[in-house]
Amino acid sequence: MTTVSNVAAARIPRHLQFTYLSHGQRVLRYYKKACRNYEANAGTLLDAKMSRIELRAKIDANKDEKDYVKAAKMLEEAEADMLTKWIFPKKNFSPGGTCYGRYIYFPDYIVDAWHGLEKAQYPKYFATREIRKLEYILWWQKKYGMGEGAEETVTQETTQKEAAQ
């Protein structure tokens, strides 16, 4: 059985249909938006938590307001105030999103821990890697000098000997 209201609702496209929110729902949505804004733009988690506590205290102070017109006016003022203070979020709120954690950081020093048989599969790569590591040590010693208690200095000759092997 179809009624007039169902037929009218069926003819209006879904994206143009409007649902009325109760005052409580509007307060909850305002609270959530304001909390997200504080969370995204606070310097530390403690600052964000403190801001949320203050906001909750403001809302709780007016929760028993009997005059609906006054309560609606306070909510509209709070929403307008939030929009004037709105800052584009700096924080990504979708840590489980499609691109989150897609690329794994693979530190360079992990390759040094490979077993000799694994390194034997890529002899050219590891030969040039050892040369580059020794060149980096030479560059470091040239730029910053030897550290205290250093016994041996890597020289160009030892680099060439390592490359020949």
- pLDDT tens-digit map of 78-129: 999 888 877 765 665 566 666 766 777 788 888 999 999 999 999 999 999 9
4, pLDDT greater than 60: no
Q: Do residues 82 and 29 make contact, with C-beta atoms less than 8 angstroms apart?
A: no
d(CA 84, CA 19): 25
Q: What is the mean pLDDT of residues 17-27?
A: 88
> Phi/psi at 143 (nearest 5 deg)?
-80, -45
Q: Helix (H, G, I), strand (E, B), or coil: what is residue 43?
A: coil
pLDDT, averaged across the chain: 81
pLDDT tier, 1 (very low <50, low <70, confident <90, very high otherwise): very low
Q: What's the CA angle centered on 53, arms 48 and 59, to 5 degrees?
A: 125
Q: Which residues touch 163 (CB under 8 Å, ≥6 apart)?
A: 127, 130, 131
